[in-house]
Every structure is written in structure tokens, then in C-alpha cells.
């Protein structure tokens, strides 16, 4: 009977152990299922991240192609301007050469005219000889007198008329060449004038557009009003470009502005130039380092409005600028390794 009790107790222990093992097995099974679900979810999340990465890479490639295309267009424009400038310099050299040629022909013409006048005088002198009538003795006396006068005159050029006709032909040829060169000179000067006029039109189209953008950018700050002007608008390529600031109905010079205000005006001028041919994105490296709190807010407002048409990536330590951004990426050093921390800010 005692052995039966011992066996019963042993069996109860075995059953209890089996119960514990079954619970452990169930727990392990549940844990396995949970880990399997998490693995599946992780794989799905990884696949989504890969798709998003591919989309970002595709967009970066498209943006890169657009930037490259714009750079090619800019290079083509610069090459065209250089080509036109080369043509203008070439035409100027041609005009100088023509002017030298004209001066040369004018000198030759003056020499020919002098020789022509000498021949004219010789021709007039020959007209003094006329037909004479009278007795032989009287004619002989007159002939002797004429011979003495001729001898007193010296040697006479008998080829004067032939030389006169030759010189007259040379003068006519030179005058025709001068007239032709003058027409070519006028044509070249007209072409140069047209090129200069087109350059001036292109310059003022760009200047007016940049000035309009510059005025608009001031509306995003509390600096008042600003505009650009030329001191010699009739000759813009010899003129200086100036910036005028108006506050409280009074004009102020740039020298009267604070360092932060000067920095902000300089940035607005650069942005006005960029807006003439805007880029899809810009990278700014601590351009706000010299700004105080008020001008930092002006800068943040300016970038916020410009960000409607382009993307701005800014390297900054300025809290006022960071507070107005859509997303922030921080860089910290942990155990000798740089780590990135990104925060997407919700902006309505």
C-alpha cells in the first residue's frame, strides 16, 4: 500500500511537470507566432522603405537632369554672348582698317589733286600760243622774240596733256574706291549699332526683372523699400549699379544700415538675381551667422516665402531660423561617429 502511494505521488509530480512543460510550450509557440508576425511586418516595412528610397533617388535624378539642362542653357547663352562680342570686336577692327585705308586714299587723292593742278596750269600756259598774221619780216621778228621768251622759260613738258588725262583717271578711280569704302564703313557701323542696341535691350530686360524681384523681396521684411538704379542709364555698360533704401519716407544709404541689415540686403540682391532664372533648390551655408534676432526673423520670413517655388537647404545654428523650417536634421557625434537625427515639423 505504501508503494502505491509513492507511485501515485510520483505520477502526480510527473503530471504536474507535464502541465508546466505544456504551458512553457504554449508560451514558446505564442512567442514564435509573435516573432513571425513581427518579422513579416518588418519585411513589409523594409520593402516600403526601399520603394520610398527608389522614389527619392528617381526624383533626385530628375532634379539633377533639370539642373544639368539649365546649366547647358546658361552655357549656350554665355557662348552666344561671347560669339557676339567677338563679332563686334572683329567689326571694330575692320572699321579701324577701313579708316586707315580711307586715310591712305585721302592722302593719295590730295597728292593727285596737287599734281592735277600743276598740269592744269601747264595746260593754261599752252593756250597763250595763237595764230599770227603779218609780213614775213615782222613774223620773223616776233618768232625770234618768242624763241627768246621760250628759252627764258626753260624746258617745256610736251607730255603734259597725256599726263593730265592719266592723273585724272587715277583720281576718278581713287574717288570711286573711297566712296565704296565709305559705304562699307557705314554698313559696318550700322551693324555694330544694331548689336549694341540688342545688347542694351537684353540688359534692361534683365535689369528691370531683377529690380522688380528686389522690390518684392523687401515686402517680406521690415527694412522698408529697396530698389536698384543706374547712374548712367543712357550708357548702361559704362554705368555703376547702386542700391537705394527708403524708410519712413526718407532715403537711406547702405552705410547707415547695421551689419545684419547689410547682410540681409545682400542676400535679397542675390535672390533677386536668382529669381530671374530660378533654380529648383538652393543650399545656404550659415549665411545668417551675422544676423541679430530681428533680422533672423526677417531672413526666416524671406526664405519661407521663397520656399513656395524652390526648396532651400540651410546649414544654420540660429534658433529663429530653425523654428520656421518644415524639417530639421541634426548631426551629433556619438562614440566618434556622426549620427543624424531628423524631425519633421507639422506646418499648416
Using one digit for the tens of pLDDT, what is the confidence trace for 247-275? 888 888 888 888 888 888 888 899 999 88
Instruction: Report the alpha-carbon distance of residue 277 to residue 202 in Å, rounded.
Output: 14
What confidence category does residue 212 fall into, taking pLDDT thresholds of 50, 70 and 90? very high
What Cα–Cα distance (Å) separates residue 197 from each residue in 22, 192, 210?
A: 97, 9, 20
| Strand duo 250-252 + 281-285: pairing | unpaired
Nearest to 278 by CA among 245, 246, 306: 306
Question: Which of 101, 99, 105 is CA-nearest to residue 170?
Answer: 105
Residue 160: pLDDT band with limits 50, 70, 90: low
Q: Which of 126-135, 147-156, 214-223, 260-269 is predicted least confidently?
A: 126-135
What is the predicted pLDDT for the residue at 150?
A: 67
- The mean pLDDT of 208-235, rounded to a whole number, is 88
Say what the pLDDT of residue 6 is. 67
pLDDT, position 1: 59
Under a CB-based contact definition with an 8 Å cutoff, are residues 282 and 63 in contact? no
**Strand 241-247 to strand 250-252: parallel, antiparallel, or no bridges (unpaired)?**
antiparallel
pLDDT higher than threshold 70 for residue 130: no
289-343 per-position pLDDT tens digit: 888 888 888 888 888 888 888 888 889 888 888 888 888 888 888 888 888 887 7
Task: Output the CA–CA distances (angstroms, integers) from residue 187 to 21, 46, 174, 193, 201, in the order listed.
Answer: 109, 72, 20, 10, 21
pTM confidence score: 0.48
What residues does each domain of the chain span?
84-126+144-206, 219-344
pLDDT in tens, 24-68: 777 777 777 777 777 777 677 777 777 877 887 787 777 778 778
Give me the residues paired with residue 16 across strands: none
- In CATH terms, the fold of domain 219-344 is Rossmann fold (3.40.50)
The pLDDT > 70 percentage for the chain reads 85
Amino acid at each position: 500500500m505504501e508503494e502505491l502511494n509513492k507511485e501515485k505521488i510520483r505520477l502526480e509530480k510527473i503530471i504536474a511537470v507535464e502541465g508546466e512543460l505544456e504551458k512553457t510550450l504554449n508560451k514558446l509557440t505564442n512567442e514564435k507566432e509573435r516573432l513571425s508576425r513581427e518579422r513579416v511586418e518588418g519585411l513589409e516595412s523594409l520593402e516600403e522603405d526601399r520603394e520610398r528610397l527608389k522614389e527619392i533617388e528617381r526624383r533626385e535624378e530628375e532634379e539633377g537632369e533639370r539642373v544639368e539642362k539649365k546649366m547647358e542653357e546658361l552655357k549656350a547663352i554665355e557662348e552666344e554672348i561671347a560669339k557676339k562680342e567677338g563679332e563686334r570686336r572683329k567689326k571694330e577692327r575692320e572699321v579701324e582698317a577701313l579708316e586707315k585705308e580711307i586715310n591712305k586714299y585721302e592722302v593719295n587723292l590730295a597728292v593727285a589733286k596737287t599734281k592735277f593742278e600743276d598740269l592744269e596750269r601747264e595746260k593754261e600756259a599752252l593756250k597763250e600760243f595763237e595764230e599770227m598774221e603779218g609780213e614775213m619780216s615782222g613774223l620773223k621778228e616776233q618768232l625770234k622774240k618768242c624763241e627768246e621768251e621760250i628759252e627764258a622759260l626753260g624746258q617745256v613738258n610736251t607730255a603734259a596733256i597725256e599726263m593730265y588725262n592719266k592723273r585724272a583717271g587715277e583720281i576718278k578711280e581713287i574717288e570711286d574706291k573711297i566712296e565704296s569704302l565709305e559705304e562699307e564703313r557705314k554698313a559696318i557701323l550700322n551693324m555694330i549699332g544694331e548689336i549694341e542696341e540688342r545688347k542694351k535691350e537684353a540688359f534692361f530686360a534683365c535689369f528691370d526683372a531683377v529690380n522688380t524681384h528686389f522690390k518684392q523681396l523687401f515686402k517680406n521684411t521690415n527694412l522698408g523699400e529697396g530698389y536698384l538704379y543706374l547712374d548712367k542709364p543712357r550708357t548702361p555698360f559704362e554705368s555703376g549699379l547702386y542700391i537705394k533704401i527708403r524708410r519712413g519716407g526718407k532715403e537711406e544709404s547702405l552705410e547707415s544700415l547695421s551689419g545684419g541689415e547689410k547682410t540681409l540686403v545682400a542676400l535679397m540682391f542675390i535672390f533677386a538675381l536668382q529669381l530671374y532664372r530660378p533654380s529648383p533648390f538652393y543650399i545656404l551655408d550659415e549665411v545668417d551667422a551675422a544676423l541679430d534676432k530681428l533680422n533672423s526673423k526677417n531672413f526666416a520670413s524671406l526664405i519661407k516665402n521663397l520656399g513656395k517655388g524652390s526648396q532651400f537647404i540651410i546649414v544654420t545654428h540660429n534658433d529663429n531660423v530653425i523654428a520656421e523650417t518644415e524639417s530639421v536634421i541634426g548631426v551629433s557625434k556619438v562614440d566618434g561617429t556622426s549620427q543624424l537625427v531628423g524631425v519633421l515639423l507639422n506646418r499648416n
